[in-house]
Amino acid sequence: MYRKLYVDGCVDIVCNAVKVQSPLTLEQLCQIIQENLPGSCVPRDNLKEDARLVILDDSSFTIEYANTVPETKLLFSIAHELGHLILHFLEDDGNGKLKTKESVNIGEVEEYEANEFAAYLLMPDEQFISKCKEFSENGMISINKLAEYFHVSNRTATVRGMALGLW
């Protein structure tokens, strides 16, 4: 079982520390990373995945992203990589140093956790639920409006609602 409460708590801490609140845009997320962390978001040609975390040394990183991918997909993918950084690559002794890629095992649980990090960062539970009410008419929730509001794809918004048990 993955650590939902721990992951959500980490997002809350990050959001409070850097004073951000969803809905976030891609530009805002990259700016937050650049201004508050020892790393940056860098567009790349010919990247196989939408985004990937590159640990440069014990105190710097980049999040590379494919510049051909739509912004809504990139926003979630970059938030997912940020989740790996915060949840899985910080040294446990709290000195803020980063672990090496070789010393970290990224398996199924870690992927779930990074997804929850991104989902909770971009679509916090309470806000998502309240927007579902706002964007519903005759008992039908508009996924289009939800996705547009949170700057994510329709699919990501749909998965979020399922994860929260809303449909």
Which residues lie near Zn ion (CB under 5 A)? 111, 114
**Contact present, 166 and 132 (Cβ < 8 Å):** yes
CB nearer to Zn ion: give 63 or 132: 63
Lay out the sheet containing 60-66: strands in order across.
39-44, 60-66, 51-57
CB nearer to Zn ion: give 80 or 131: 80
**Contact present, 33 and 63 (Cβ < 8 Å):** yes
- Least distance between Zn ion and beta carbon 101 (Å): 12
- Least distance between Zn ion and beta carbon 94 (Å): 23
CB nearer to Zn ion: give 32 or 53: 53
Pairwise CA distance, residues 60 & 100, whole Å: 11
Bond before 23 cis per omega within 30 degrees: yes
- Least distance between Zn ion and beta carbon 132 (Å): 27
